[in-house]
Amino acid sequence: MLTKRQSNILKLIVERYIKEAKPIGSKIISKTLKCSSATVRNEMAALENAGLLEKTHTSSGRVPSEAGYRYYVDKLMELKEMNAEDMLKLQIVFRNQQLALSDVITKSLQVISDITNYTTVVLGSTSHENLLKQIEVVPIDENSMIVIIVTDKGHVEHKNIKLQDVSLEEIKKTVNLINNLIAGTPIDEVSAKLEYEIKPIIGKYVKQHEQLYNAFYHVFNDFTNQEVNVVGRHKILEQPEFSTNIEKIKNIYNKLEDKEVLRNIEEDDENNIKVYIGAESNIDDDVTVIKTRFKTPTEEGTIAIIGPKRMEYDQVVSMLEYMKENIER
């Protein structure tokens, strides 16, 4: 258990290091706390012995260890209220009645990525958990229509497609064929079933079968791929701790390209905000992932912010809480 002074020193070091990205010396802390440098040095040595601070090779100052960040997040962090300008940017997105919920989430994560300069991720309900209930089509004009995909969990997805010189009757035949033969299939298996079960027989029933098959195949393929959406993938690599380490940059970028790695972010079903620091992130020892789950009557999933271990935890947690509250409203 830390003393009050040790807690204050650790909090100051973590928060200054987050902002400055350079080791923090005793003089800066002693001026802030109005006590002698010798006293601060002794306390910093005690924090280092406790595994909460680390020395660097290039400076006499200290930086937080992984355990130090964890102690800060669990016991010392005070959430920062979002400023009015950032709230307004998000509210413009949340109040846009023209946007589907999935677009609202993606656009609000873009706003957060721009504000924080971190990478953001949304993971939809895993497609193997959603079964195809039915598809419907709504013609817009002679050459375009909306395809509506409905799952057994009540998730509804809309896709616009364009078809050249295909009659509505041919389209309806294709829809009936898919609904009769593939309804009840997990969404992530529908594309394969279209290829192996629908493609060989569709020509017997539908004249423009090739164009229709390709259109519906791409609709389902896009739906499955939408499950993981990364915004601002490059932003985490612009952080100073990664700028000179080419191997680390490659490793992190490859992890952010790997959908299986990203899907691991949503492994647990807890609704509260979770913070994974360093090795806990399963991405890199110098990376933090902060995430929460959301659930609405029609959609559920996980939103996450990925940044350096030297992340502004108080700001990010507040933003995720605000975003979750508005998504579920």
∠302-65-239 over CA atoms, to 5°?
60
Which range of residues forms the domain containing residue 64?
4-76
Which band of pLDDT confidence, cut at 50, 70 and 90, is reported for residue 267? low
Q: Are residues 71 and 89 in the same domain?
A: no
Q: Are residues 138 and 152 in the same domain?
A: yes
Q: What is the pLDDT of residues 233-263, one digit of tens each?
A: 889 888 888 877 888 888 898 898 887 788 7
Percentage of the chain exceeding pLDDT 90:
49
As a whole number of angstroms, the distance between CA 226 and CA 156 comes to 13
Q: What is the pLDDT of residues 79-135, one digit of tens each?
A: 999 999 999 999 999 999 888 888 899 899 999 999 999 999 998 755 556 789 999
Which residue has better confidence, 53 or 186? Answer: 53
pLDDT at position 129: 66
The overall pTM is greater than 0.85: no
- Please check whether residue 30 is in contact with residue 61, taking contact to mean a CB–CB distance below 8 angstroms: no
pLDDT at position 187: 82
pLDDT at position 10: 98
Q: Is the pLDDT of residue 164 over 90?
A: no
Instruction: Find the CATH number of the domain harbouring 32.
Output: 1.10.10.10
Q: Are residues 100 and 239 in the same domain?
A: yes
Ranked by mean pLDDT, the top range of 8-22, 57-71, 285-299 is 8-22
Q: Are residues 55 and 10 in the same domain?
A: yes
In the block, tokens 């009840």 appear at 184
The mean pLDDT value for 196-215 works out to 87
Q: What is the pLDDT of residues 23-75, one digit of tens each?
A: 999 999 999 999 999 999 999 999 999 999 999 876 778 999 999 999 999 99
Q: Is the pLDDT of residue 144 over 80?
A: yes
Q: Are residues 238 and 113 in the same domain?
A: yes
Instruction: Find the CATH number of the domain harbouring 169.
Output: 3.30.390.10
pLDDT at position 82: 92
Domain end marker among 200, 225, 250: 225
Q: Are residues 173 and 297 in the same domain?
A: no
pLDDT, averaged across the chain: 89
Q: Are residues 241 and 116 in the same domain?
A: yes
Percentage of the chain exceeding pLDDT 70:
95
Q: Are residues 239 and 163 in the same domain?
A: no
- Tally of structural domains, the chain: 3
The mean pLDDT value for 206-226 works out to 81
pLDDT at position 309: 95
Q: Are residues 180 and 295 in the same domain?
A: no
Q: Are residues 147 and 195 in the same domain?
A: yes
Q: Are residues 220 and 233 in the same domain?
A: no
Which residue has better confidence, 215 or 73? Answer: 73
Which band of pLDDT confidence, cut at 50, 70 and 90, is reported for residue 303? very high
Strands laid side by side in the 228-231 sheet: 228-231, 119-124, 300-308, 287-295, 274-277
Instruction: Find the CATH number of the domain harbouring 292.
Output: 3.30.450.40
Which residue has better confidence, 329 or 243? Answer: 329
Which band of pLDDT confidence, cut at 50, 70 and 90, is reported for residue 159? confident
Q: Are residues 264 and 142 in the same domain?
A: no
pLDDT at position 323: 95
Domain end marker among 225, 259, 292: 225
